[in-house]
Structure 1
Amino acid sequence: MINKLRKKDKYDLASNIIVFVIALLFLYPLLWLLTSAFKTSSEIYQMPPTILPENFHLGNFQKLFSGNPAIRWVLNSVIVATSSAGLSVIFSSLAAYGFAKMKFKGKNILFVLVIASVMIPKETFIVPLFEIVVAFDWVDTYQSMIIPNLGTGLGTFLLYSFFKDIPDSIRESAKIDGANEWTIFRKLMLPIVAPGIGALFILNFVTYWNDYLWQLLMARSEEMQTISVGAAALQQALNPDIGLRVAGATLAAIPMVIIFLMFQRFFTSGITAGAVKE
């Protein structure tokens, strides 16, 4: 028995070391990006490269904010990502609840079509979607970057499993007590599936924050650009100042890291909920 415990301890130690090394490999590009934002361009090109800057240089961010509407870019990204993620969660939860708990004709066929939409990449219907936006005269507006993101088959599919696992007896008891469908959904069902909603919000937020292609097509003016589009423009500009470009990429990455660290607990519980049945 003691030998088995020792073998298990050795296995756990080895597996933890491997996971730690892999985590460092994945984190190294992010670490290099964050530290290089505080280096001069000459130090970034220095060979052999250094991880930490010799002297913290704030000139990259000064040039970024003084020569570009970077604050407006960040504000646009916050508005687009937060609004898109929040509204898509609302619509996905309503659709998932309807498919999981309500009965209506054609439900199975419609659910299959919703799930099948997950397999269709957005790039395949981006042309007709662009024509619709142009017809509504929404180009270079917030609604053009928010409204097309509201219907997501992935969000419906993810929350469907959460609603499906809730016993029907809870809903039936609430109906006997006189609660209507909206009250049941808002006061009983949503608190139970809160972990799934939190995980879906984070996934959607990161997706819409990085939605470069659609935001590039919609943002015609520099004031309507998001940080992902603005930072990419710095990368593509004929500018030898690599420090400025790295600072733009850092500004685009930091909010996502902060959001994930703040809501990591909800993300982990939402993803793993239902994985283990008692």
Structure 2
Amino acid sequence: MFRRKNKRKRDKYDVIANVIVIFFALLSLFPLYWLITSSFKNSADVVKMPPDWFPTTFNINNYIDVFSNQPALKWAMNSVVVSLVATIALIIVSSLAAYAFSKLQFRGKNIIFIIFISSLMVPKEVLIVPLYRIVDNLGMVNTLHGMIWPNVATAFGVFLLKGFFDSIPDSLRESARMDGASEFKTFIKIMLPLVKPGIGALFILYFVQVWNDYVWQLVIGQDEGVKTLMVGTATLMQDLNPNFAYKMAGATVAAIPLLVIFIFFQRYFTRGLTMGAEKG
């Protein structure tokens, strides 16, 4: 009788908790809903008060204008190239460095790792001027290379992946070495597949970060041909008589790739965060 009463009480609390979670989930999705629905409205309907919670018009001309009057497709391709290449390069460099810090023994390893992690405390905005001078001296201003490679020089991926390599027993590496596998083969064939959840989480987190890296892309890419979607969409806001629905359409186009990336990698992302929580 007492157990049944406790079970009924727990079920009641579970229902209340689920209702609260669903409410806040819908609340967090509301800006996305407002962005997408506003992109199909007329400009006057976007700013009218009281607002139309459901669009009374369905105007696809906003999207047609974005792609016909602006090089939005070129901007989108630039964003995809910059984000994808920078993220893949970061994963390659970070996984190698994280494996070295986790499994290899060399002099000054702990000190070097502390220096790496300390660099995360320096805001990127502080480094913009010296970083721009370096990129300018290398002749990479107004190029996609100037947007890509500075994003690879960060310790974030090393910090994230080292925790995953630390969770792998050293006995696996020792067994592989006894079987005659080289260090690189051990890393590729045994260690790397075991940290796939961490790589998936890093891919999503860093792809989104580079995609949204508006300030650095604005500084480096001033020419129309090298603008990214974030910078190009922001330039739509500079009109004296802005068409707000037109700008909502541009912002929606910029948001769609991030949603697609998260949908495809959410399994690894969730598993990576869960494994990180278990380690903590």
Q: 1:148 aligned to 2:150?
A: yes
Task: Give, in angstroms, the shift of residue 51 of structure 1.
Answer: 2.5
| Secondary structure of 1:251's aligned partner | helix
Shift of the 217–274 alpha-carbon distance from structure 1 to 2, 3 Å rule, reads: closer
Equivalences for residues 1-278 of structure 1 within 5 A: 1-276=3-278
CA distance in 2, matches of 1:253, 1:182: 38
Give percent identity, aligned residues only.
Answer: 52
The answer (yes or no) to whether the contact 1:61–1:247 under 8 Å persists in 2 is: yes
The answer (yes or no) to whether the contact 1:195–1:269 under 8 Å persists in 2 is: yes
**TM-score normalized by the length of structure 1:** 0.97
1:184-233 Cα shifts (integer Å, max 9, x gaps): 00000000000000100110100000000000011121111000001111
The answer (yes or no) to whether the contact 1:141–1:219 under 8 Å persists in 2 is: yes
Question: For residue 112 of structure 2, what is the amino acid of its counterpart?
Answer: L
CA distance in 2, matches of 1:6, 1:184: 53
Task: Give, in angstroms, the shift of residue 40 of structure 1.
Answer: 1.0
**TM-score normalized by the length of structure 2:** 0.96
CA distance in 1, matches of 2:60, 2:165: 49
Structure 1's unaligned 5+ residue stretches are: none
Task: Give, in angstroms, the shift of residue 2 of structure 1.
Answer: 0.7
The answer (yes or no) to whether the contact 1:85–1:204 under 8 Å persists in 2 is: yes
| Secondary structure of 1:54's aligned partner | coil
Give the aligned length: 277
Task: Give, in angstroms, the shift of residue 165 of structure 1.
Answer: 0.8
The answer (yes or no) to whether the contact 1:196–1:270 under 8 Å persists in 2 is: yes
| Secondary structure of 2:278's aligned partner | coil
Question: For residue 31 of structure 1, what is the amino acid of its counterpart?
Answer: Y
CA distance in 1, matches of 2:235, 2:214: 11
The answer (yes or no) to whether the contact 1:114–1:153 under 8 Å persists in 2 is: yes
CA distance in 1, matches of 2:59, 2:240: 22
Q: Is 205-214 or 16-25 further displaced after alignment?
A: 16-25
Task: Give, in angstroms, the shift of residue 274 of structure 1.
Answer: 4.4
Task: Give, in angstroms, the shift of residue 48 of structure 1.
Answer: 2.1
CA distance in 2, matches of 1:208, 1:36: 26
CA distance in 2, matches of 1:156, 1:53: 46
Q: Is 34-43 or 96-105 further displaced after alignment?
A: 34-43
Structure 2's unaligned 5+ residue stretches are: none
Question: For residue 19 of structure 1, what is the amino acid of its counterpart?
Answer: V
CA distance in 1, matches of 2:149, 2:12: 53
Task: Give, in angstroms, the shift of residue 42 of structure 1.
Answer: 2.1
Task: Give, in angstroms, the shift of residue 65 of structure 1.
Answer: 1.0
1:134-156 Cα shifts (integer Å, max 9, x gaps): 00110011110000011221111
| Secondary structure of 1:55's aligned partner | coil
The answer (yes or no) to whether the contact 1:92–1:151 under 8 Å persists in 2 is: no
| Secondary structure of 2:277's aligned partner | coil
| Secondary structure of 1:179's aligned partner | coil
Shift of the 274–123 alpha-carbon distance from structure 1 to 2, 3 Å rule, reads: closer
